[in-house]
Amino acid sequence: MRIGIGYDSHRFVEGRKLILGGIEIPFDKGLLGHSDGDALCHAITDAVIGALGKGDIGKHFPDSDKRWKDASSIVMLKQIIDLASAEGYAVAWIDSVIITERPKLTVYVDRMKQALLHAGIPSGIINIKAKTNEKMGFIGREEGLAAQAVCLLVPAKL
């Protein structure tokens, strides 16, 4: 059994869609990033990579690589889930949190879980929470948001 932790944060910008958990969230701003900026998927990806002991998301998907420009973070996460499988591991549980003042995200959690199925994460093995930062720091000033995730990997059954 292995455990990994992941974190990601992105700045809000005008002119981009807000993508979180693989779905578009109606909002007047999106997240600045080399890929689609999906901070939740990035945190989960980093948690799986950490559990594998394979570095971090930047090692696998460097922002200097044009292949990942505006790429779907669901695709990136699927690649790492496939790597875990190739290494003999399966995701047993993911607990995650998105921290933002706005938009309110609780109503989108079930849709995010459904979208994460495309990355190979069944909805029954993931928890997604939405929290505020009580108006403190860059999140409280609504300059951006952050996400954290913890992943438990177990040996895959043959």
Q: State pLDDT tens for residues 19-51.
A: 999 999 999 999 999 999 999 999 999 999 999
Tokens matching residue 8: 């990601």
Whichever domain contains 64, its CATH number is: 3.30.1330.50
Higher pLDDT, 134 or 63: 134
Q: Where are the alpha helices (DSSP H) in the chain?
A: 39-52, 57-60, 73-86, 109-116, 137-140
The string of DSSP letters for 59-88 reads: HHS-TT-GGGTT--HHHHHHHHHHHHHHTT
Q: Confidence band (pLDDT; 50, 70, 90) for 69?
A: confident
Is the pLDDT at 70 greater than 90? The verdict is: no
Q: How many domains does the chain have?
A: 1
DSSP 103: S
31: nearest Cα among 11, 51, 48: 11
Q: State pLDDT tens for residues 1-17.
A: 999 999 999 999 999 99
Q: What is the pLDDT of residue 132?
A: 97
Is the pLDDT at 143 greater than 70? The verdict is: yes
Residues 6+ apart with CB under 8 A from 124: none
147: nearest Cα among 100, 77, 79, 107: 100
Q: How far is CA 136 from CA 18, 58, 98, in A?
A: 22, 28, 15
* Domain region containing 133: 2-155
Q: Confidence band (pLDDT; 50, 70, 90) for 63?
A: confident
Instruction: Report the phi/psi class of residue 22: left, alpha or beta, with left for phi > 0 and alpha for psi in -120 to 50.
Output: left
